[in-house]
Chain A
């Protein structure tokens, strides 16, 4: 696996086209999360983002079968940009679409990696997306909590476990003394965990949208 990780994107693609499934897996793992983070910043709906990514990968596979690219990264990010522009225009967000549409592809038709973008103080939404990753900030906030608070919030909110299941998990992982923990205590950890998480997220500059959800 270490050998796979040291290969370039283009070498991985060549291996994948030749039938090496682990090479394709490595490529997907390298890029899928990055693409999702960029799209997440502009598209507030995770299900729509899921559709966009699936469409993007389908298009990418069709493209590399016709002609393997000189730069896999350039092809991937060009497709990300194209999908985002389409979606922003569909939503009537033409100004943001225009920003995305400008300066990303040079006169020779070469696309540049979004990770090579300007510093974050320029009005480039894609560079901003890479820099400010909501999911990453949330995870960092969680990791700053005491273990039993963190694990309670993860189990209840990220994994959808019940109070009873969370109580069992806290005992199994040795995060609470004793062989049992009352569900009432889980509720207490849950509340205190949220209080502490809010404090940490404020310190990290997390952008809360909050309020009523529609």
Chain B
């Protein structure tokens, strides 16, 4: 006895809801009297079912993106504040102030600092112990360009891509590697001066040498590609 096609389609729908799958060819074969029409309309059913999965995925990932607002503002809020020092919130400042003649001048506890490009590049070289040639090689710059950058008085704060492009032209560097290096050093700069300290364990008991070593390890790690870019 021939089943009404509505019943076949309803059963196919139930199968799709339960298993998430639908074998159009098998259903058409099992119902030869409706074969042609089933081969036409069941793909439309599948298309809508698939569309639902896409919409649900889009909604979930949208909700995830919206919830990133907290992460977006957390660091920005913590680095913009000049909060008074509290017990255990010592910066790494004093331990490095004695290194090198052109090291970023460490301001007294609680003060804001406005590094220049020159101090960023110089501090990085001094704190990692790299030669100018090696630092240039790792950054993808020429030693001549790096030497010029190490004396550059341009403030880091508010630096935009257009200024970096001009700087690249002035020192004879390529824009892309220069931009990448400035961003890397800039993030390290804010890390070292931020009141939101990364190094929390045993801070009160660690020595200056231990804190310097830990900072060196952080800088080395920053030179590696982040997991999301691998």
- List residues of chain A with CB under 8 Å of any chain B CB: 16-19, 21, 24-25, 28-29, 32-33, 36, 40, 46-47, 49-50, 53-55, 57-59, 61-62, 64-67, 69-70, 82, 108-109, 134-135, 138, 153, 156-160, 163, 184, 187-188, 190-191, 194-195, 197-198, 201, 206, 208-214
Contact = CB atoms under 8 A, between A and B. Distances in A.
- By size class, the interface of chain B is 35 or more
6 contacts: A25-B69, A28-B62, A54-B61, A70-B160, A163-B10, A209-B43
A16 B56 CA distance: 26
B196 interface: no
Contact of A28 (B44, B51, B66, B75): B66
A46 B56 contact: yes
Contacts of B23: 212-213
A62 B226 CA distance: 11
Judged by DSSP, the binding face of B is helix
B6 A190 contact: yes
Nearest to A33: B58
A32 B65 contact: yes
Interface in B32-80: 37, 40-58, 60-62, 64-66, 68-69, 71-73, 75-77
B22 A158 contact: no
Contacts, number: 166
A156 B54 CA distance: 16
Contacts of A198: 40-41, 43-44
Nearest to A17: B76
B179 interface: yes
Given A138-B48, A212-B23, A65 B43 contact: no
Given A108-B175, A153-B48, A201-B44, A188 B6 contact: yes
B125 interface: no
Contact of A208 (B43, B160, B187, B228): B43
Judged by DSSP, the binding face of A is helix
Contact of B57 (A17, A50, A62): A50
Given A66-B186, A198-B44, A47 B6 contact: no
A19 B17 contact: no
Interface string B18-36: 0011111110000000000
B9 interface: yes
B25 A17 contact: no
Given A134-B51, A157-B48, A209-B43, 11 more contacts: A46-B57, A49-B57, A54-B65, A58-B68, A61-B72, A108-B175, A135-B55, A187-B10, A191-B10, A212-B22, A213-B20
B162 interface: yes
B52 A158 contact: yes
Interface string B132-166: 00000000000000000000000000001110010
A190 B10 contact: yes
Give the residue among B24, B68, B183 with the most A Cβ atoms within 10 A.
B68
4 cross-chain pairs, A with B, having the tightest CB-CB distances, nearest first: A210-B43, A109-B176, A157-B48, A46-B57
Interface in B206-230: 226, 228-229
Nearest to B42: A210
Give the residue among A18, A54, A108, A191 with the most B Cβ atoms within 10 A.
A191
A17 B57 CA distance: 27
B48 A32 contact: no
B37 to A, nearest CB: 8
Nearest to B7: A187
Contacts of A54: 61, 64-65
A146 to B, nearest CB: 16
Contacts of B62: 28-29, 32
B41 A194 contact: yes
B82 interface: no
Given A16-B73, A108-B165, A213-B46, A36 B66 contact: no
B13 interface: yes
Given A36-B58, A50-B57, A158-B55, A17 B72 contact: yes
